[in-house]
Structure 1
Amino acid sequence: MTMPLPRTPLILALLSAMAPVHAGDTADKPQTTRLAPVHVQADSAKGYHADNSQLDTFGSFGNAPLQDTPAAITVITRDQIDDRQPRTLSELARADAALGDSYAPVGYYQDIAIRGYALDPATGFRFNEMSMAGEQLQPLEDKQRVEILKGLGGLEAGVVAPGGLINYVSKRPADVHSATVGTDSHGSRYLAMDVGGWLTPTFGVRVNAAHEDMNSYVRHADGRRTFLSLAADWKISSNATLRLDTNYQTSGQRSVSGYQLVGGSMIPAHPSRTRMLGFEPWQRPVGIDASNSTLRFDYRFSDRWSAQLSAGHSHVVIDDNVAFAYGCFYSPACASGATPGWFFAPNGDYDVYDYRSPDDTRVNDEARAVLKGSFDTGPLNHEVSLGASAFRRTIDRRPYVYDYVGTANINEVDPPYFAPSPNQPGPSARRLTSWQHSVFALDRVHLGPQWQVLLGGRLVRLHERAYDDAGAPERDTRLSKALPQAAVLWQPTTQLTTYVSYSESLSLGNEAPYWTSNGGTTLAPLLARQAEAGVKYAWSDALSLSAALYRLRQPYQFARPDSTAEGFTFVQQGNEVHSGLEFNAAGQVSDNLRLTASLNLIQARAEGTGAPAYEGHQVVNVPRLRSALYVDYRLPFAPRLGLLGGWRYASPNVATPNGLTRVPAYNVFDAGLRYASQWNGHALTWRLSVDNVFNRFYWRDTGSSGGDSYLFPGAPRLARLSLTVAF
């Protein structure tokens, strides 16, 4: 059933606020001309377009010009974040067609996939280039931009999943004083402040703070979060700079279980986007306390040589609580064994488990030193980067409670009441200690004004120790591997860059699901290889176009059917090959129009697996085609009013390894308004965003967690209204 747009007073309030000011525009043209620059100054210099990025697969370790980078990098600018008003990683990922959800529940930390490969929360997320624990709800109030590397990041990060990296870049100190208040069509309340300045000519600070009371579209899933951050820059001398960034967020919200295939092969017939499966009144919210800090010292020895020392610390504590909807082991409808117990029953039955894992602590620490410089050898110019890094990740966890409490059905609005388990979690123990020590080098050779050759590599030494619930050693993994990277660039004009590149990366093997014959076993690390060819064109200083053709492969990990008692063994056999073509555009098309647009066409298949049913079709949760478009059009006759709109498309998405079950394709449309005005000399910016304008039902995610597959529906129509005041 299509619902009418809720909370229409939101729109009426916005229009009523705009009406008198717009009337003033018509009557007083000079005032319009005078106020327009105020709005422009509040935005970043080039709106939706970025010139550089901290991320670079070829080791810039600083701000690399995107035009000279032989890699596909998307930068989500502050203007885009402000206009779209995303609150979660899943909402942020809508900005690029190469990204998609990969087990992203409401009320829980979320993961995404890039080019069809899910990111590893241990190493796939970065804060100002330094490793950050991904098991957190990442706030955006203190971020100037979000950078997305699509493809291998071995030289940048070492042991990392092949899809890519996400780097959150902090705002820097500036003369800023603003406050934002907001709400949405469910009655959420939002307040944020952004205050900064230079206290002396050489020392500046910036503070961001936010609080949000979240009224979720899912029943029983309301939550809250509070956030605070500090950024400080100290210009010690003309050659030395020190930067500090630190933030802290605490949040609490009930986690929403995903659907599973009914009978192991069928999409649920009548799913609900607003129903919390397995809800029990004793279910506590998932609490996540997260802090992230980075410290960076830059020193310039001369015009040609400089050094950089960086350190990062990320600390996350998760109180994981959920009445978890999972499987049908205890349902009479699954008693015959025809339906595997790790799916929902054919009649929609599912089991409810009391899951509690408090004090689940993840810590990432990283230190890095880089020496950068340039020199000439005859007619050749060399830009070199040499460095070393050390990375440590630890996990401390208590033996959790995971007890069956009852069986419910997906057609029930709320399941029956089941008493919680009387059991309690055990004492905390160290479960994982992982070290990576690396040295890396890169030489960018300029062969003339048009040609460049890049040669580099990273030597990684991995030592990882895992322990059982009691702290006894369970696994000891030691590995050393050289990861080469190379690229050739041709720049026939200053506007056009073409490149070909080759790179390798290393990622950790997955843990076998409990329902396989080798359940709990962690497989060997995986070597991934990528070849890419791309072209980048700077249409203007404010608009860039790019395209990339890539082929990425790594060993295929899957539960192979066999004759064991369990019926499956988790193995690495054959290869998972992702071949794709990407197009991107970002920036200012005309004086009144700016946009971001992307398209990703990908063939993701398993080859040589020894299981023919798993080959010859797309792998799970990788739509063959995605596209994303977002536009901002400023009306010529009302230059303070911007019309915002977006469109997202995904083709049918595979939900089972044999490719026989797929969720349908979808088109989703978004809309919005932005209006700039003044009141008593203060700049005001109103923003209204409406996601999923036509309230379309769609499945946004068919990803997996722990080897089990889940289905998550997309959010229904949601309107957000905010007002930003500069003071």
Structure 2
Amino acid sequence: MATPRRHFRPRRLVLACLAGCSTAGAFAQAQLDPVTITGRVTPTINAAGWGEVPLAKLPLQAGVFTAERLLDRGATRLSDLTNFDPAVSDAYNAEGYWDQLTVRGYVIDNRFNYRRDGLPINAETSIPLDNKAQVEVLKGISGMQAGTSAPGGLVNLVVKRPLDTPLRRAAVDWREKSTLTGAVDLSDRFGAERAFGVRLNAAAAHLDPLVRDSRGSRQMLAVAGDWRLGAGTLLEAEVESSHRSQPSQAAFSMWGDRVPAPVDPRRNLNDQRWSLPVVLDGDTASLRWRQTLSADWSFIAHAATQRLRSDDRIAFPFGCSAADGTYYPDRYCPDGSFDLYDFRSENERRRTDALDLSLTGRVQVGSWAHALTLGVLNSRVKNRFQRQAFNYVGTVGPGDETPADPTLTDENTQRDEHTSEVYARDAIAIDARWTAWLGVRHTRLHRQSVRTDGSRPTDYRQTFTTPFVALSYAYVPDQLVYASWGRGMESSVAPNRTRYTNAGEASTQTSRQAELGLKGSTESLEWSAALFDVVKHIAADIGSCDDPGTCTYQPDGTQRHLGGEGSISWRTGAWTWLAGAQWLRARREGSANAGVNGNMPYNVPARTLKLQAEHRLAAVPGLVIEGSGRYTSRRYVDPLNSASIPGYAVLGVAARQAVRFGAQTLTWRAGVDNLTDKRAWRESPFQFGHVYLYPLRPRTAWLGVQVDL
């Protein structure tokens, strides 16, 4: 029986907030004269590796999303970055699970493409944003910044640190259906000459989103401190502990040979009585010592450890055994039924340790000024798993119930990795306009794996170098043109199984990128544009792979993404306009499987457009009304491009206002995502050799109140 669709009128919430908070604004106006502040703040991006050089002067493209910007748009998780930047899109993002992103059409690797204050972490977990000052997305090849990483981009999380001025902040946020979050952010300095600083962030949430059968909870506690030992010495430490427990949302799929009409996005196929929540626990700590050696040179030692524990559990739809005996291995049956499996992988443990030592300084050689960084990074990864369940429990339709089967019938894989990296960067100011950017990273890699029963061991070592070179020219102040070239690297191994002719042999997949970019700004206008060409070499199984000795894991052509992206921000009077677009021609080339050559990769839109307009109401000081829209073109659902999901456009509205009451400031934010309640397929990930579909999230209202004391 179809579930009746609820008719929610978001305008009531928005109008109520505007009316009530506008009254508060008028009251504040009677006590305080309005003050208008204008100006530009050019962000820096730590992930780039060029120190305090502003992003506007770097020969690369990146997105910097501050905590305030995320709050203003109601963003609560990393996957919400897809609402901001046209180069960032979804890559199997489910309610209740960890976030996965695609940048410039490539899925970035949660194991190797994430950093926390510049050090490597594993993102196969839920990452809280409550204690993050900003999230950075470096676009393009990241071989200079990471030893091994997928092409497309690098995500860096910048932790909130103690401030110079006291902060006393409390916030409460509500989000449909009835998710409620409370958080505090406290910072202060004390001691002689205020040498000691402490910042505490804590959050707790009851999770009850519009997706059915997905109630849960999360908690986060983080403390950061610093000690200014002297004029040139700073010691920083921080620790973060988080917990999230929530059932995840199973994906939909094709029905036989057709893509069905978009379903009710509130529907959750993970709705068996025996379904258990995904539990994600994370503990992270770091220690950083900054030492000024002279007027031109400084030294940094930075160490971090991350320990994750996960219980990954779901009633998992996979393929379909039709009543007529037909088996659909990569999609659901024509009537929408599917095979259901009881999947449980409990007590997964992942540990990452890293130590980075770097020396930064300036040297004048003749008329050329060199900004140098030399460093070494040593990291270790240790992943430990138990046996897992992946058991067929029946062929069902939506709403049907099956018995559970948690029997541990499948082996898992233990993994160890030790990486040593030596890197160097040099920004050479040739004159007032020309700058040459040189970078290189040399990596030594040792990886081992073995199944939980001791079978199929692998052990291999590799050494490789990933360079970067760019040249920029500031043709007028605050306007820059640049050209760059870089190389990246991924590493894999042929499984140690009898069907492989090269079992246990290592394979290296290189990637390279050429980019031509333009950046500029005036007092009211900022713009950025780039043309890029990214080529990734692919490794795949070649042969029938059915019997012993019939399969070889080897190079299998390339995936090339040729595209362009641009963004513009224009401030005129009370209005601010922001727009961004990406065009992408992504193709598979040179594969032994002729059926995929010339095809576009699955789940990659060729065109993406994102718009935002803000208006500051003169009649109500501090009140800002925002409208946003984004458009995504169609996406193919499988490597053969046999079907696609249509493109879609979605709208949103939001408002915010900061109101002063004496020494206190109250800030409210409200909004409605997917204003028209558009029904569409949001993304089409092809995972585990299976076509999956996720619907666009339904119309969702949210409201937040923040008090600074």
The offset of 1:701, in angstroms, is 1.7
- Name which of 395, 405, 415 aligns with 2:383: 395
Relative to 1, partners in 2 of residues 1:522 and 1:699: Cα closer, same or farther, differing over 3 Å? farther
> CA separation in 2, counterparts of 1:425 and 1:641?
59
TM-score, normalised to structure 1, is: 0.90
Q: Distance in 1 between matches of 2:449 and 2:181?
A: 41
Moved more, 342-351 or 555-564: 555-564
Which of 649, 657, 672 is 1:690 aligned to? 672
Match of 1:98 among 87, 103, 122: 87
Alignment partner, residue 551 of structure 1: 533
Offset of residue 117 of structure 1: 0.9
Residue 261 (structure 1) aligns with:
254
The match for 1:643 is: 625
1:177–1:360 CA distance, 2 compared to 1 (3 A):
same
Contact 1:451 1:489 in 2 (8 A): yes
Opposite residue 336 of structure 1, the aligned amino acid is: T
Structure 2 CA distance for partners of 1:83 and 1:711, relative to 1, 3 Å: same
SS of 2:20's equivalent in the other structure is helix
Q: Partners in 2 of 1:351 and 1:90 — Cα distance?
A: 28
Aligned pairs for 1:106-505 (under 5 A) are 106-174=95-163, 175-200=166-191, 201-263=194-256, 265-269=257-261, 271-328=263-320, 330-333=321-324, 335-337=325-327, 339=328, 341-409=329-397, 412=398, 414-416=399-401, 418-421=402-405, 423-424=407-408, 431-472=414-455, 474-505=457-488
Deviates further, 690-699 or 637-646: 637-646
Please say which of residues 287-296 and 690-699 is displaced more in the overlay: 287-296
CA RMSD of aligned residues (A): 2.8
2: CA distance between counterparts of 1:477 and 1:649?
A: 45
Q: Relative to structure 2, which stretch is displaced further, 455-464 or 564-573?
A: 564-573
- CA, structure 1 residues 619+693, in 2 after alignment: closer, same or farther (shift >3 Å)? same
Partners of 2:152 and 2:408 in 1: how far apart?
38
686-695 vs 634-643, greater mean Cα deviation: 634-643
Aligned partner letter, 1:107: G
C-alpha separation in 2, matches of 1:378 and 1:579:
40
Counterpart residue number, 2:610: 628
Change over 3 Å in CA distance of 1:20–1:496 after alignment to 2? closer
Deviation digits for residues 58-111 of structure 1, max 9, x if unmatched? x32x33321221111110122211101212222123210001111111111121
Q: Which moved more, 1:9-18 or 1:466-475?
A: 9-18
Asked whether 1:20 is paired with 2:23, we answer yes
Tell me, in whole angstroms, the C-alpha distance in 1 between the residues paired with 2:493 and 2:94.
Answer: 21
TM-aligned CA distance change 1:600 to 1:590, over 3 Å: same
* Cα distance change on mapping 1:654 and 1:555 into 2, 3 Å: same
Which amino acid in structure 2 is aligned with residue 419 of structure 1?
P
Deviations 1:436-469 (A, max 9, x none): 1111112222211111112221111111001111
The secondary structure found in structure 1 opposite 2:70 is: helix
The separation in 1 between residues aligned to 2:598 and 2:508, in whole angstroms, is 25
| Distance (Å, rounded) in 1 between the aligned partners of 2:91 and 2:594 | 25
TM-score (norm 2): 0.93
Once the two structures are superposed, what CA deviation does each residue of 1:285-328 show, in whole Å capped at 9, x if it has no partner?
00000122222211111111111111121211111111111111
| Distance change >3 Å, CA 282–CA 613, structure 1 → 2 | same
| Deviation readout 1:401-440 (Å, 9 max, x if unpaired) | 111111112xx3x222x2111524899x970001111111
| Runs of at least 4 residues off by over 6 Å | 510-514, 516-523, 565-570
Gaps in structure 1 of 5+ consecutive residues:
none
Change (3 A) 1:382 1:243: same
- C-alpha distance in 1, partners of 2:130/2:253? 34
Q: 1:660 to 1:570 in 2, by over 3 A?
A: farther
**Deviations 1:674-713 (Å, cap 9, x if unpaired)?**
1222446521111101110000012222123334332111
CA contact (8 A) 1:216 1:223 kept: no
Q: Specify the code of the residue in structure 2 equivalent to 1:202.
A: A
Q: 1:712 to 1:511 in 2, by over 3 A?
A: farther
Going from structure 1 to structure 2, the CA distance change for 1:88 and 1:660 (only over 3 Å counts) comes to: same
How many residues of Structure 1 are paired with residues of Structure 2 in the alignment? 700
Quote how far apart the aligned CAs of 1:572 are: 3.5
Structure 2: distance between partners of 1:470 and 1:332: 36
Letter of the 1:380 partner, please give it.
W
Q: Which amino acid aligns with 2:351?
A: V
Q: Secondary structure at the match of 2:342?
A: strand
Distance 1:689 1:476 in 2: 52
Could you tell me which residue of structure 1 aligns to residue 77 of structure 2?
Answer: 88
On the 8 A contact 1:75/1:145 being kept in 2, the answer is: yes
Q: Distance in 2 between matches of 1:103 and 1:46?
A: 39
Cα distance between partner residues in 2 of 1:543 and 1:170: 30
**Cα 1:209/1:544, change in 2 over 3 Å:** same
Question: Following the alignment from structure 1 to structure 2, what is the Cα–Cα distance between the partners of residues 327 and 544?
Answer: 49
Name the counterpart of 1:72: 61
Cα offset, 1:510, TM superposition: 8.3
- Residue 568 of structure 2 corresponds to residue 593 of structure 1: no
Q: CA deviation at 1:558?
A: 5.5
In 1, Cα distance between the equivalents of 2:45 and 2:368? 26
Q: 1:233, 1:591 → 2: CA distance?
A: 41
Change (3 A) 1:491 1:346: same
Pick closer, same or farther for the CA change 1:91–1:10 going to 2, 3 Å: same
Match for residue 5 of structure 1? 8
Where do 5+ consecutive residues of structure 2 fail to align? Answer: none
Paired with 2:305 and 2:116, the residues of 1 have a C-alpha distance of 10
The residue identity in structure 2 corresponding to 1:626 is T
The one-letter amino acid paired with 1:375 is V
Cα distance in structure 1, aligned partners of 2:318 and 2:18: 46
**Distance in structure 2 (CA, Å) of the matches to 1:536 and 1:493:** 11
Quote the Cα distance in structure 1 between the aligned partners of 2:496 and 2:617: 55
Contact 2:613–2:626 (CA under 8 A) maintained in structure 1: yes
Higher mean C-alpha displacement, 699-708 vs 640-649: 699-708
Cα 1:16–1:492 change in 2 (3 A) is closer
Asked if the contact 2:232–2:291 (Cα under 8 Å) also holds between the matched residues in 1, the reply is: yes
Asked if 1 retains the 8 angstrom alpha-carbon contact of 2:342 and 2:406, the reply is: no
- Aligned partner letter, 1:533: L
